[in-house]
Structure 1
Amino acid sequence: MKRPEQIVIIGFGPVAASLIEGLLPSVTAGDCELTVISAEKHLAYNRVLLAELAIGAAELEHLLMVDAARLDAAGVNVLLGAQATGVDRARRRVLVRDHEPVSYDRLVFATGARAMIPSLNGLNFDPHADTALPDGVFALRTVDDAQKLQHSLSIGGRILILGGGILGIEAALAIAASGGKPVLVHHGAAP
């Protein structure tokens, strides 16, 4: 009998959720075994709706893009809150902080992108490093960021949003709808 192919996905955002959905029939059939390594403590969710979460117009369960029970029933191994720290290509395994290494036949990087933080006085840092921002300054990319926005809204006052992309506009509209005072700043002539 042929050994099932070991597939490991690092990251668990929308792209990984879509890939997992496509692989589920093969996992269920026993053709492959799937492990998902996610630094976040939540299943994949729709990031576009984070502002709705922050203002209380949506619950996290409504943002989820996968069904935990379905993944579990198929036998998908999901490591939440687990940070991949390296890849041992010679041994074909992923090193994971506070976990045993995870072996793979195929490895998929679905880590998404970092939020682009502009270089401004007081915010100058290496754009390729995870540097802590000052209190009250944050990107809107994760559930934790949505909680920070929720806290800022509870304090009141203006909220400055840098960037007129889809998330910036969604955040400004949601903040205004909740009675907040958003100020949207965009570097181009129009969002």
Structure 2
Amino acid sequence: MSGTLVVVGHGMVAHRLVAELRRRDPARRWRIVVLGEENRPAYDRVALSSYLNGRREEELRLRDVPGEDGPALTVRQGVRVVGLDRGRRTVACSDGTEVRYDALVLATGSRSFVPPVPGHDLPGCFAHRTLDDLDAIRAAARPGRPGVVVGGGLLGLEAAGSLRGLGLSPHVVEFAPWPMPAQLDADGGALLAARLRSLGLTPHCEVTVREVTAGPDGRARAVVLSDGRVLEASVVVFAAGIRPRDELAEAAGLERGPRGGFRVDGHCRTADPRVWAVGECAALRGRCHGLVGPGYRMAESVAAQLTEEAPAPLPEPDLATRLKLLELEVASFGDAHGTTEGSLAFSVGNPGAGTYARLTLGPDGDTLLGGVLVGDTRAYALLHSLRGHPLPTAPDALLRPPPS
């Protein structure tokens, strides 16, 4: 297979796809056309918050595409794809042009979920998704003033850290009983909430936003919570999750997953043999994944298929995470919440040291199924490698810090 490959989207996963295909296709059988909606080259979205802490845009750019200035690769920035004609094998662009393809990869990513509460679109309300978003937040931020972040998951705490770095006093509003509910259990979440308070952030859990109210200048002034409390806010940032960018699906007759995204099989193929989807917009076996790691595996699989290799279907993605968030290390892997029937839990916490760990064991009390670590993640690499295997020693011994 060869010809023109059109890649819709120019984020991290699309960039990995292009780099991998160029590496595998030295003869340049594929001419690649990348259509990116943002008016800038691909950049490291995972490190986005560092941009507000002084890192320059140039330092975030992704630059590892071999021969990216050659005639076989065209990257068009500031171009949004508005239509897809699978019969004619063309995509329609926002500038009125059409591009014909022999193979098409949809890498449209996701968008921030903004709950449709009254006032969500007032001046002073922002998403936390792109460099343009962060430029707007920086311009609106006034040190010493309060800000409100809607969402207490990974994205929300990252946004709260950004506001804190700009000198604001952030409130964090989370619907769940504790922050980072997808990664942490109740005890780990309680420790994290206490840590947030010690850093000058104020979590508000088990509440939602009822509305955003405006001041005399027409800009956001306060957030009204579902329990009636009012939080003053000079800046409101919505970071309550993401939604796949799958707007092209309906008109193109492509099936969506149960919760959105282009439905693809284990090879990232849609029902159309010339159309793939990768990254956050891809509902792999019906489910979208918001981590870059699974997106990279998808990109590599599609590049292999385009160069006539036959990779095995992708396995279920490893959704393990390890990160340093607001000066606190957090890691989770496998069945961190103990949802496996008959599973057992082993937990240990040290509030004074700000550490907590929980391991999920199989019904036999020996097989490691998953875990969560807060405050001290030095045991993560070993524990992650033991997932699905019998423990070589007692759980408490595994959680002891390794000798320095």
TM range, smaller chain: 0.7 to 0.9
Q: Using structure 2 for the length normalisation, give the TM-score.
A: 0.41
CA RMSD of aligned residues (A): 2.2
Check whether the contact 2:23–2:66 (CA below 8 A) recurs between aligned residues. Answer: no
Higher relative contact order (CA 8 A, sep 6+): 1
1:147–1:38 CA distance, 2 compared to 1 (3 A): same
Match of residue 85 from structure 1: 82
Check whether the contact 2:163–2:169 (CA below 8 A) recurs between aligned residues. Answer: yes
State the structure with more CA Rg: 2
| Aligned partner letter, 2:149 | I
Give, in whole Å, the separation in 2 of the partners of 1:122 and 1:155.
23
SS in 1 for 2:141: helix
Q: Using structure 1 for the length normalisation, give the TM-score.
A: 0.83
Q: CA deviation at 1:14?
A: 1.4
Report whether the alignment pairs 1:166 with 2:154. Answer: yes
Give, in whole Å, the separation in 1 of the partners of 2:165 and 2:85.
49
| Aligned partner letter, 2:167 | G
In structure 2, list runs of 5 or more residues that go unmatched: 181-404
Q: CA deviation at 1:99?
A: 5.0
Give, in whole Å, the separation in 2 of the partners of 1:48 and 1:161.
18
SS in 1 for 2:110: coil
Q: CA deviation at 1:75?
A: 3.2
Match of 1:100 among 97, 104, 123: 97
Match of residue 25 from structure 1: 23
Give, in whole Å, the separation in 2 of the partners of 1:71 and 1:13.
15
Report whether the alignment pairs 1:15 with 2:3. Answer: no
Give, in whole Å, the separation in 2 of the partners of 1:60 and 1:166.
22
Q: CA deviation at 1:70?
A: 4.2
Give, in whole Å, the separation in 1 of the partners of 2:124 and 2:26.
45
Match of residue 221 from structure 2: none
Q: CA deviation at 1:113?
A: 1.1
Report whether the alignment pairs 1:142 with 2:130. Answer: yes
SS in 2 for 1:73: coil
Q: Deviations along 1:149-173, whole A, 9 cap, x unmatched? A: 1012247511111112222212212
Q: Within 5 A, what are the aligned runs for 1:8-157?
A: 8-26=6-24, 28-53=26-51, 55-67=52-64, 70-73=67-70, 75-123=72-120, 133-154=121-142, 157=145
1:172–1:5 CA distance, 2 compared to 1 (3 A): same
SS in 2 for 1:114: strand
| Aligned partner letter, 1:188 | A
Match of residue 394 from structure 2: none
The count of corresponding residues between Structure 1 and Structure 2 is 179
Q: CA deviation at 1:56?
A: 4.3
